[in-house]
Amino acid sequence: MNLIGLSRRRFLGAGSGIAAATALVGFGAGQASAVTGTWSDPESTNGWRLLEKAPGFVIEGSGQVVSLAEGDAATILLYVARRFHYEIDSLRAGDVHGWTVDRKMTEPYESNYLSGSAIAIRPVWYPVGAKGNLYPNELIVIRDILAELDGVVAWGGDFKKPKESHFEIVLKPGHPRLKGVARKISGTTNDGAGTIDAFDPIRRNAARAFERRTS
């Protein structure tokens, strides 16, 4: 994961330079940062161009719609949401947030919503600064998803300033690994619920090994 700090992006404090500096101060577990800034860069932190509009996509099995960048980003992020829906909890109206035009945010990584290359699943439940809100069995599924996607997606729960609802594409558009993962999972999108067992010992070992390599 490669997060880009405020000093390398035009993340402007809503009120003053002091407010922007405050955005870098850590908050304790369970606390959410109230500091906001306005994003003015033409790209989000992961190198994707900001979008003026983005199409809506249906998350399989849920009936919920989320707006995302077309192509590999949509394929991969829809897969994340699909597995959450089937393996963690059913998604309901308003649970999944994707592309937005709202440039006000708390952390720079939230700029990835502006490019349609990130989603937030239940951001009200899991806001910026809050950590430890997922059950152990839910974390097992999250770790399995990240391992299956081979580092193409980063989870906000692993960030220095966490946001456990946040999932983002970390590679730039057209990257070979991005395309390869999108092709790999494209054949699984119609398999339905219960076809993946994140608790299978082989998958658990693979997920643990992946977490160790990327921590």
Number of DSSP helices (H) and strands (E) in the chain, helices first: 5, 9
Which of these, 157, 205, 152, 137, lies nearest to 182 by C-alpha position? 152
Q: What's the distance, Cα to Cα, between the start and end of the chain in Å? A: 9
Distance, in Å, from the CA atom of 157 to the CA atom of 138, rounded to the nearest integer, reads: 12
Give domain status of residue 182, yes or no: yes
Give domain status of residue 189, yes or no: yes
| Whole-number pLDDT of residue 190 | 53
Q: What are phi and psi of 120, to 5 degrees?
A: -125, 120
Give domain status of residue 115, yes or no: yes
| Whole-number pLDDT of residue 33 | 44
Q: Which domain holds residue 210?
A: 6-214
| Whole-number pLDDT of residue 189 | 53
Tell me the C-alpha to C-alpha distance, in Å, between residue 80 and each of 75, 88, 193.
9, 11, 13
pTM: 0.82
Burial bucket for residue 158 (CB in 10 Å: 0-12, 13-18, 19+):
middle
Number of domains within the chain: 1
| CB-CB contact of 88 with 94 (8 Å) | no
In 3-state terms, what secondary structure has residue 151? coil
Give domain status of residue 1, yes or no: no
Written as tens digits, the pLDDT of the chain (215 aa) is 333 333 223 343 333 333 333 333 332 333 344 557 999 999 999 999 999 999 999 999 999 999 999 999 999 999 999 999 999 999 999 999 999 999 999 999 999 999 999 999 999 999 999 999 999 999 999 999 999 999 999 999 999 999 999 999 999 999 999 999 999 998 765 554 557 899 999 999 999 998 999 88
| Whole-number pLDDT of residue 87 | 96
Burial bucket for residue 187 (CB in 10 Å: 0-12, 13-18, 19+):
exposed
Neighbours of 124 (CB within 10 A): 10
| Whole-number pLDDT of residue 22 | 34
Give domain status of residue 147, yes or no: yes
Distance, in Å, from the CA atom of 66 to the CA atom of 58, rounded to the nearest integer, reads: 7
Which of these, 122, 167, 197, 126, lies nearest to 1 by C-alpha position? 167
| Whole-number pLDDT of residue 2 | 35
